[in-house]
Amino acid sequence: MGEILFGLIMTLTFTLAAGIVIEEEGRAGAREMLLGILGCNLAWGIIDGVLYVLGQVFERGRIRRIGFHLRGATSDEDARRMVAEELDEVLEPMTDEPARRSLYDSIVERVRRVPAAPNPVTREDVLGGLAAGWVVFACSFPAVLPFLFLDDPRFALRVSNMILIGLLFYVGWRAALHTLVRPWLAGLTFMLIGVLLVALAIPLGG
């Protein structure tokens, strides 16, 4: 969801700011805008993919560091406290203290028994990075389609903008299915926030 929102907002920033260029240069301006959208989203897709891979490796490294300190803890209580600092925030709302204590003791025992594993870049990391980059780049396609089928670049631009705004609503609607928020309210919120962020980005040179 985050990658899709990022790609849609970036693309919408291009299309909403392109009205003046298209007004002055017509189809040549539209062609320049489309190349800019595709190039920008491709570049950010690559950057996003690389950052995803680095983030996965970093997160595993952070967990390995906790395991390293846990193995070197001078007492079971210190080791249990390290685990609690990592998991209490997630588990406290749904478990009582004895259940957490038993779980944390089991985790401490297992971590001490199992040697630390290496932390290379995995196939799953690379595939996840490719997926993240592709999602950002693919968000430029809906903006491009109207210019391929409509002769009037001004009308195509308006259709492109409406498609992107509608997709912001749809992403919010789908995101709400994973929560207790009303889908129409989430869709409207995503759409308005997306448009507001674009309105902020354009005068700042985004």
* C-alpha pair distances (Å), 61 with each of 57, 67, 117, 121: 6, 10, 10, 11
pLDDT band for position 20 (cuts 50, 70, 90): low
Rounded Cα distance, 137 and 7, in Å = 7
When pLDDT is averaged across residues 139-167 and rounded to a whole number, the result is 86
Measured from the Cβ of residue 145, the count of other Cβ atoms closer than 10 Å reads 13
Q: What is the pLDDT of residues 164-190, one digit of tens each?
A: 999 999 999 999 999 999 999 999 999
pTM: 0.80
Q: What percent of the chain has pLDDT over 70?
A: 92
Q: Is the pLDDT of residue 19 over 70?
A: no
Hey, how many other C-beta atoms are within 10 angstroms of the C-beta on 12? 27
Considering the chain, what is the average pLDDT of its residues?
88
Q: How far apart are CA 166 and CA 171, in angstroms?
A: 9
Residue ranges in the chain assigned as alpha helix (H): 2-17, 19-25, 27-71, 76-91, 97-113, 123-138, 141-149, 153-176, 183-201
User: Residues 192-201: pLDDT tens digits?
Assistant: 998 888 878 7
Local structure of residue 114 (DSSP, 8 states): S
Of the spans 6-15, 38-47, 52-61, 156-165, which averages the highest pLDDT?
52-61
Q: What band does 108 get if pLDDT is binned at 50, 70 and 90?
A: very high
Whether the Cβ atoms of residue 105 and residue 76 lie closer than 8 Å to each other: yes
Q: What is the pLDDT confidence band of residue 35, given thresholds at 50, 70 and 90?
A: confident
**Percent of the chain at pLDDT exceeding 90:** 56
Instruction: Tell me the per-residue pLDDT of 79-100, one tens digit each, with 9 for 90 and over.
Output: 999 999 999 999 999 999 999 9
Q: How many residues does the chain have?
A: 206
